[in-house]
């Protein structure tokens, strides 16, 4: 039996992972931040003391505790303290404000709410009072503390719902996604096994730990016994010092992170921006093949990308031993136990990493088919080798004169244009065509100004069918993104450009 099997154990709870890893490598570091380091044993013992402090405040197994905290050592300690108690925790992204936070705290039925106080110029404590949250306490530098002797036995069942995550709301309220310890551990195990990491690696968490990727990554650290550097605020080039100081070997987060690292490398050709780095890895957003090729070519590191969502934290993952073609053009393969079914081009999922549903039973009923497969809304197909290729979102298909146009197909081609830094393709209402194709691009500095004629000429030369060519071009300084994995917010682009004048931006429809 290998070490990973020893760590996984039988009950499948987060706390069992913490205890088993602390017993195996107690003095090895697990969390690094600035000049601080926390070992696996300090994670275990510290979380127990925090759990006792929470117990003294009235938190019991099953108590719902919401927390809106930045990526810090204290945040991980609090999350594992709640896991030790068997409480139900509901992480909230730190950048959410009154409307989203009030909805999440209310719908989850949170009896307690942990906040950072004033953080990055915003008073979270005042907001918590304003929205009427119960049991508000600050947990930034100081955490509740108590004697672990008061604690009840740790949870023995990893199949009960103990996590409520929130999908990011756009034009409607977010959905509360129900997870168990076992579903999150299944997702993290997929990530860990696919990447072939070892105890000699040093990872990094540059995204909010409150994101579903937080426990994913923590599972990986607990399974393989290596540390990760935490970044409370991620910005380049400022964060590079932290990567270099701790010798990070694995970085990433999502496609936007790859692009940011790549831009920094282009500004310093000839020397690696992070000398110890050997692998970029992530998921959560589409990856254009050209981004993969550029990272490998210009940064000299591997890039493995995966597919996940709040409902299923890890579905497929590229592996370092995949072929370059598969790494560039697919999302990797599913792990054992993840079933993928393609129905009319749509991806459906069944397996232990799939959530238990939503807080709203009606939403749960709509989300699963008669065989228990989660209906994702993503379009794709499986290759003969079992790799998954995504072709876009069902709602991201542009229907122009009755013909389906894939936004992702056009975006992938635009990313290969030397003057395009980033691109998003959207459908806009059009009286004649139903929808017209609009390309919104960030232009790379120092390149010739992009025009619609030049872009359509380039796409035609690349073999794009005439009925798919953009009829509107918008050049922006920066695409709007969310604050978690930096996904492009296409609904904001539709809102901004739906009423834009077409006269100077469109070409005659073929």
Query: Residue 198 and residue 429: Cα distance in Å, rounded?
Result: 51
Number of other residues whose CB lies within 10 A of the CB of residue 408? 17
Most confident segment among 9-13, 165-169, 262-266, 499-503: 262-266
Is 66's pLDDT higher than 50? Answer: yes
Nearest to 315, CA basis, from 329, 327, 328, 331: 331
Is 44's pLDDT higher than 60? Answer: yes
Is 483's pLDDT higher than 80? Answer: no
Query: Residue 244 and residue 221: Cα distance in Å, rounded?
Result: 20
**What is the pLDDT at residue 43?**
98
Lowest-pLDDT choice from 74-83, 144-153, 217-226, 489-498:
489-498
Confidence label for 269 from pLDDT (cuts 50, 70 and 90): confident
Query: Residue 368 and residue 346: Cα distance in Å, rounded?
Result: 13
For the beta sheet containing 374-382, the strands, ordered from the edge strand earlier in sequence to the opposite edge, are 339-343, 346-350, 374-382, 388-393
**What is the pLDDT at residue 193?**
87
For residues 331-353, give the mean pLDDT. Answer: 94
Confidence label for 508 from pLDDT (cuts 50, 70 and 90): very low
For residues 78-85, give the mean pLDDT. Answer: 98
Exposure string for 452-476, b = 16+ CB within 10 A, e = fewer: beebbebbeeeebeeebbbbbbbbe
Query: Residue 62 and residue 85: Cα distance in Å, rounded?
Result: 8
Exposure string for 17-49, b = 16+ CB within 10 A, e = fewer: bbbbbbeebeebbbbbbeeeebbbbbbbebbbb
For residues 77-103, give the mean pLDDT. Answer: 94
pLDDT in tens, 136-176: 999 999 999 999 999 999 999 999 999 999 986 544 678 99
Is 395's pLDDT higher than 70? Answer: yes
Residue 197: φ, ψ to 5°: -85, 170
Domains of the chain: 3-27+38-182 (3.40.50.980), 401-497 (3.30.300.30)
For residues 114-118, give the mean pLDDT. Answer: 98
Q: 3-state class of 471 per DSSP?
A: coil
pLDDT in tens, 327-336: 999 999 998 8
Confidence label for 221 from pLDDT (cuts 50, 70 and 90): very high
More confident residue, 279 or 7: 279
**What is the pLDDT at residue 509?**
43
**What is the pLDDT at residue 505?**
44
pLDDT > 70 fraction of the chain, expressed in percent and rounded: 94
**What is the pLDDT at residue 506?**
45
For residues 171-193, give the mean pLDDT. Answer: 88
Helix (H) or strand (E) holding 400: strand 397-400
Confidence label for 408 from pLDDT (cuts 50, 70 and 90): confident
**What is the pLDDT at residue 463?**
82
Report the predicted TM-score, pTM, of the whole model to 2 decimal places: 0.83
């Amino acid at each position: 039996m290998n070490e990973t099997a020893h760590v996984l154990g039988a009950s499948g709870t987060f706390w069992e992972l913490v205890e088993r890893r602390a017993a195996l490598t107690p003095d090895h570091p697990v969390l690094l931040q600035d000049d601080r380091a926390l070992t696996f044993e300090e994670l275990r013992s510290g979380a127990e003391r925090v759990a006792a402090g929470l117990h003294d405040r009235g938190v019991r197994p099953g108590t719902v505790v919401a927390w809106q905290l930045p990526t810090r050592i204290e945040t991980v300690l609090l999350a594992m303290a709640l896991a030790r108690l068997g409480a139900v925790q509901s992480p909230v992204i730190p950048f959410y404000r009154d409307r989203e936070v009030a909805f999440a705290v209310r719908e989850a039925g949170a009896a307690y709410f942990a906040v950072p106080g004033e953080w990055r110029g915003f008073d979270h404590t005042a907001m918590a009072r304003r929205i009427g949250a119960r049991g508000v306490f600050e947990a930034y530098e100081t955490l509740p503390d108590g004697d672990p002797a008061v604690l009840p036995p740790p949870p023995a069942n990893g199949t009960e719902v103990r996590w409520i995550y929130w999908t990011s709301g756009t034009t409607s309220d977010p959905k509360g996604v129900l997870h168990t310890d076992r579903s999150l551990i299944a997702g993290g195990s997929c990530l860990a096994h696919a990447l072939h990491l070892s105890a000699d690696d040093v990872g990094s968490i540059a995204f909010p730990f409150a994101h579903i990727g937080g426990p994913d990554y923590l599972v990986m650290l607990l399974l393989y016994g290596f540390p990760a550097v935490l970044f409370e605020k991620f910005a380049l080039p400022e964060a590079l010092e932290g990567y270099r100081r701790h010798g990070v070997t694995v970085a990433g987060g999502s496609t936007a992170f790859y692009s940011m690292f790549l831009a920094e490398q282009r500004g310093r050709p000839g020397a690696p921006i992070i000398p110890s780095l050997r692998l970029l890895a992530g998921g959560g957003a589409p990856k254009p093949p050209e981004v993969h090729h550029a990272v490998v070519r210009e940064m000299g590191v591997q890039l493995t990308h995966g597919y996940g969502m709040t409902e299923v934290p890890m579905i497929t993952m590229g592996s370092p031993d995949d072929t370059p073609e598969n790494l560039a053009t697919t999302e990797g393969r599913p792990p054992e136990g993840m079933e993928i079914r393609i129905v009319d081009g749509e991806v459906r999922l069944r397996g232990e990493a799939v959530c238990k549903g939503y807080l709203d039973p009606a939403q749960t009923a709509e989300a699963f088919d008669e065989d228990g497969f989660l209906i994702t809304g993503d379009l794709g197909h499986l290759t003969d080798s079992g790799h998954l290729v995504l072709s876009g979102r069902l709602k991201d298909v542009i229907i122009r004169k009755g013909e389906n146009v894939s936004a992702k197909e056009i975006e992938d081609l635009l990313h290969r244009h030397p003057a395009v830094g980033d691109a998003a393709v959207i459908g806009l209402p059009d009286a004649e065509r139903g929808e017209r194709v609009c390309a919104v691009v960030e232009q790379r500095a120092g390149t010739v100004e992009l025009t619609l004629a030049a872009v359509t000429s380039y796409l035609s030369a690349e073999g794009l069918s005439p009925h798919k060519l953009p009829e509107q071009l918008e050049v922006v300084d920066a695409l709007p993104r969310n604050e978690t994995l930096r996904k492009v917010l296409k609904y904001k682009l539709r809102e901004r450009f739906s009423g834009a004048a077409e006269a100077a931006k469109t070409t005659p429809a073929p």
